[in-house]
Amino acid sequence: MKTPQELIKYCLSKNGAYIDHPFGPDSEIIKVENKIFAQFFQLKGVDTITLKCDAMTGQFYRQMFPGVVVRGYHCPPIQQPYFNTFPSDGSVPDEIIFEMIDHSYMVVVEKLPKYLQRKLNNE
């Protein structure tokens, strides 16, 4: 099982990714071009992750891990289908977490202007 720090390091390996603390020092927010794609924080003493997703993929993971992967915990209701929250306690296998991180990054980058997409894709 990967630690939150190892997962954050993986997020930061993405082109243009960086850590921000817009919600205070108790959460690690990973952004690309000022857009959030990953959030790491503690929820009731449990290391927790929230990742951006498209609505269909988000639902897929919620069905794959019912009661574990839930709609964006702290997001406004209108945004909840576009974020998944889950504990970083081994209940979601590492390879699935990496897959979800990759998806999250891709969803955010695909919504950026084309010139930024080209820059991030080294084109």
Domain boundaries, the chain: 4-118
Helix count and strand count (H, E) for the chain? 4, 6
- Residue-by-residue DSSP string for 41-59: EEETTEEEEEEE--HHHHH
Q: What's the pLDDT score for residue 27?
A: 95
- Backbone phi, then psi, for 17, in 5-degree steps? -75, 145
DSSP 95: H
State the distance between the two ends of the chain, measured CA to CA, in whole angstroms. Answer: 35
Q: What's the pLDDT score for residue 7?
A: 97
Instruction: Reduce the DSSP state of residue 79 to 3 states and report it.
Output: coil
Q: Which CATH number fits domain 4-118: 3.90.1150.30, 3.40.1370.10, 3.30.465.10, 3.20.20.70?
A: 3.90.1150.30
For the chain, residues with pLDDT lower than 70 are none
Instruction: Reduce the DSSP state of residue 92 to 3 states and report it.
Output: coil
Q: What's the pLDDT score for residue 69?
A: 97
Q: What's the pLDDT score for residue 74?
A: 80
Cα–Cα nearest to 28, from 42, 15, 39, 17: 39
Reported pTM: 0.95
